[in-house]
Structure 1
Amino acid sequence: MLSLSPSIDGARLIVGDFNLIRLPREKNNDRFDAGRASAFNAMINALAWLELPFSDRLYTWSSKRDPPTLARLDRAFFDAAWDSLFPDSTLASRPRTTSDHVPLVVSVSTRIPSAGRFFFENSWLLDPLFLPAVLPSWSRVPSSPCAATRLARQKKCLRSAAKVWKRQHKFIPVFDNNCKFLIDLLDYLEEHRRLSPAEIALRSDARLALAGSVARQAAYWRQRGKCRAVAEGDENTGYFHARASQRRRGNAIRVLAVDGVELVAHNAKEAALRRFYSNLLGRAPAPPGGSTWRPSTPARQWSTVRRWWRLSPGRRSEPLSSR
């Protein structure tokens, strides 16, 4: 593989039976050849390969004896170019019939399901247009006697304004290419003639815009990759992207089995999980006799609570009952 690697161009995906294990836990007994595993890992590091996570089985090969020897010999590796093109690649197994190896299936996709929840992106703060657009929504919230209520309303208004700003300022990949083309063009013209003040200012603006775009992309993927030990910068954006993709692959649930039916589609898995936890965490059944639990609070403590309720501004006007 080391000799063939320089002659292969483009993205790479390598799947097959390597007949080697990398770690002692990849075998069900203590017969582990550390020397061969070290050489195998050294080759993987030299080629800068990444391994697709294998989440539905521990082993891919069986000796079919009693007791059997189980090991993980079959793998799938990819390089950084493949990770950039297909960040949603996954590895799964199929039932083993006559072979002593488990069949492997690689699913390739570029679409990553987006979460329905709202996430504040750190990269937004690097855009000079973000804060002037969303801060007025924070100040427009009317005053309230309850500080917690006013803070919750301010956060909701800021979230709504941030969602609108996000829809209006989506990342456009061609923007970076246009900036680079403009900078290269003006650099080429500068070698043959003197640039005008307007052209110099245009090149400076293009460089500033490109630097800002690169910084925002680095902050975005740094937040996705959950990495805090490396400084943000153009040279690290690819690393953050690869780390975020690898982290998602390791956390992904590829298949859910519900009542004997395997669910693969993202919407079906989401509905099954919501239904399961709704049944698990639903409302507790009423106690026998239909009685309702009430706190056993002494009368003198209830008098203190009533006094606080009446004196606190903005409270409800209905009386409190200790029954």
Structure 2
Amino acid sequence: MALFADLISNLEAIDLPLSNQNFTWSNMQHTPTLAKLDRFLVSTEWDQSFLLCKVKALPRITSDHTPIVLSTRLPPASRRFWFERVWLSNEDFRSKVPLWWSEVASKNSDILTITAKLRHCREGDGNTKFFYVMANDRKRNNYIEVIKDDAGRQITDDKLKRSYFFQSYKRVFGRAEDCPTSIGD
């Protein structure tokens, strides 16, 4: 076992965690001995390519080993911006672009601040494999795969989950205009 552990360490392989179970083998006794024998080992490059992968244990039917399955999902692609050349023929277009950008920047100043902080973290902490492994592990652990709405239906689509969370918080906290602006009398 020590040779296997050394091999994993030398290859800098990552042992993907099981999301729903700790052990994959049992001796099937009344007081069982449990162990994690079955694993998915991946390289750091693979881990960076598949951020939203999950390893799940399936029900054990006849074997003393629990079958495990690897599911991979690519993060949702951002929508592309398409520039239409015909816009340049509109007389007002060139004068309105700076105005539109300033409106977006003022509305999204928090996003710009967060983006700058993330850029600092990304570039300031060094370009090490360990940093990326930890970041990917955090994303994998924090990813919410499924939620249940008020009617008990399961939501798995990322856009629908985002919308449901937004509406839930909006229901709880209300609109910004509804919040009192003063403290005390």
The TM-score bracket by the shorter chain reads: 0.5 to 0.7
CA contact (8 A) 1:61 1:73 kept: yes
In structure 1, which of residues 46, 68, 72 is the aligned counterpart of residue 32 of structure 2?
68
In structure 1, which of residues 80, 84, 88 is the aligned counterpart of residue 48 of structure 2?
84
| 1:111 alignment counterpart | 75
CA contact (8 A) 1:221 1:237 kept: no
Q: Does 1:158 align with 2:106?
A: yes
Q: Return the alpha-carbon distance in structure 2 between the equivalents of residues 88 and 255 of structure 1.
A: 13
Using structure 1 for the length normalisation, give the TM-score: 0.36
Deviation per CA, 1:29-80, whole angstroms, max 9, x where unpaired?
Answer: xxxxxxx4x5443221111101212121122122221122222211111002
Between 1 and 2, higher relative CO (CA 8 Å, sep ≥ 6) is seen in 2
CA contact (8 A) 1:222 1:240 kept: no
Give the 5 Å matches for 1:134-213.
Answer: 158-160=106-108
In the TM superposition, what is the alpha-carbon distance from 1:84 to its structure 2 partner? Answer: 3.2
In structure 2, which of residues 140, 154, 174 is the aligned counterpart of residue 249 of structure 1?
140
CA contact (8 A) 1:221 1:240 kept: no
| 2:60 alignment counterpart | 96
Matched positions, count: 150
Aligned CA distance change for structure 1 residues 93 and 157 (closer, same or farther; 3 Å): same
Aligned CA distance change for structure 1 residues 160 and 255 (closer, same or farther; 3 Å): closer
Give the 5 Å matches for 1:37-48.
Answer: 38-48=2-12
Deviation per CA, 1:119-150, whole angstroms, max 9, x where unpaired?
Answer: xxxxxxxxxxxxxx9xxx69xxxxxxxxxxxx
CA contact (8 A) 1:88 1:112 kept: no
| 2:119 alignment counterpart | 220
CA contact (8 A) 2:125 2:131 kept: no
Deviation per CA, 1:58-115, whole angstroms, max 9, x where unpaired?
Answer: 221222211222222111110022123322222112222112222211112332588x
In the TM superposition, what is the alpha-carbon distance from 1:232 to its structure 2 partner? Answer: 4.4
Q: Return the alpha-carbon distance in structure 1 between the equivalents of residues 152 and 109 of structure 2.
A: 45
Q: Return the alpha-carbon distance in structure 2 between the equivalents of residues 41 and 221 of structure 1.
A: 35
In structure 2, which of residues 153, 157, 165 is the aligned counterpart of residue 265 of structure 1?
157
Structure possessing the higher radius of gyration over alpha carbons: 1
Using structure 2 for the length normalisation, give the TM-score: 0.57
Aligned Cα root-mean-square deviation (Å): 4.4
SS in 1 for 2:145: coil
Give the 5 Å matches for 1:116-135.
Answer: none
Which residue type is aligned with residue 265 of structure 1?
A: D
The answer for unaligned runs of 5 or more in structure 1 is: 1-35, 115-132, 139-155, 166-215, 224-229, 284-301, 306-323
SS in 2 for 1:75: coil
CA contact (8 A) 1:222 1:237 kept: no
CA contact (8 A) 1:222 1:241 kept: no
CA contact (8 A) 1:92 1:106 kept: yes
The answer for unaligned runs of 5 or more in structure 2 is: 79-97, 175-183
Q: Does 1:50 align with 2:14?
A: yes
Q: Return the alpha-carbon distance in structure 2 between the equivalents of residues 238 and 71 of structure 1.
A: 29
Aligned CA distance change for structure 1 residues 245 and 65 (closer, same or farther; 3 Å): same
